[in-house]
Chains A and B, each alone.
Chain A
């Protein structure tokens, strides 16, 4: 069910893949180190490990479903039949940590009350900021074959990237931010928070798939997917 694959044809069919990998690797190392220094080991695990597991499952399902695939990377991981590059999974942890903190910074300036409304606002802003960056990144990634969307996919596209992809980005970052903030602000012990952040992935995952599936259905019904 779970396997690791090593690809020996690094960069095949791609352009500037090394630069993209270097960007993610540098950012990931910096943010993990910064989080470790600022928040300690346990909080860093709460911030990074759940999204690594969630994105591994979601990306693997995405590849297995035949919507897109990755070529030219070195290390691939697979849980449900679809090979996902390790660096992509790390990139998702960068996304969540970065956009969650940008959302916190932004919302703390305009809404100071620490309540569920603030959690909702922070998560929404995190998701929207994520989509903004993805609107730059995804077309370039598709053009340079860092990941390749199947051309048979129908619906509205933004420079060959399906609209549902951007919805997926928002939904994933939004729900993962909500889960992370709820656990971070709970009064459980740090060890309990780590366990909760991993076990609650099943609930977050169901929410992500239900909402994403419903939006997909609405798109089909309206005729834009």
Chain B
């Protein structure tokens, strides 16, 4: 009979417990027996953009779009039309939100 992940781990607790304890001990040792550096890194998110046909695209947006298109094509070619369309519409939410937030912030900058 199938179990959920937590049930499986609880049944095999003696297998997982030593690994978890070792990991926690190592983390604590690494955190407290080391010097912290005084530099703070500032992320430059602007360099994640590429210009294609005079339009600036975020690299990760393009990768998401690529995955979305390929999976959508596979779904349609699999004759799995309705779930693919429903899933496809839901999966456009991140794309729409990213476009919207870019548009809104650009508009604010112009003002």
Contacts and interface: CB of A to CB of B under 8 A. Distances in A.
For B2, B4, B48, B91, the residue with the greatest tally of chain A CB atoms inside 10 Å of its CB is: B4
B67 interface: yes
B15 interface: yes
B5 A58 contact: yes
Contacts of A136: 68, 71-72, 75, 84, 87-88, 90-91
B65 to A, nearest CB: 11
Contact of A66 (B3, B47, B102): B3
B70 interface: yes
Interface string A136-162: 110110011000001011000001000
A31 B48 CA distance: 12
Nearest to A189: B37
Contacts of A117: none
Nearest to B97: A106
B63 interface: yes
Contacts of A101: 48, 60
Nearest to B33: A192
B8 interface: yes
A139 B83 contact: yes
Nearest to B101: A109
Interface string B15-42: 1000111111011001100111111110
A132 B71 contact: no
Interface string B37-61: 1111101010110000000001111
Residues of B contacting A: mostly: helix
Nearest to A153: B2
A143 B83 contact: yes
Contacts of B39: 187
A129 interface: yes
Contact of A80 (B1, B15, B63, B87): B15
B101 A110 contact: yes
Given A15-B78, A65-B7, A189-B37, A109 B26 contact: no
Contact of A23 (B71, B77, B80): B71
Contacts of A11: none
Contacts of B26: 195, 199
Interface in A106-141: 106, 108-110, 128-129, 132-133, 135-137, 139-140
- In order of increasing CB-CB distance, the 6 nearest A-B pairs are A202-B23, A213-B6, A136-B87, A199-B26, A66-B2, A65-B8
Interface of B: 1-9, 12, 15, 19-24, 26-27, 30-31, 34-41, 43, 45, 47-48, 58-61, 63-64, 66-68, 70-72, 74-75, 77-78, 80, 83-84, 86-88, 90-91, 93-94, 97-98, 101-102, 104-105
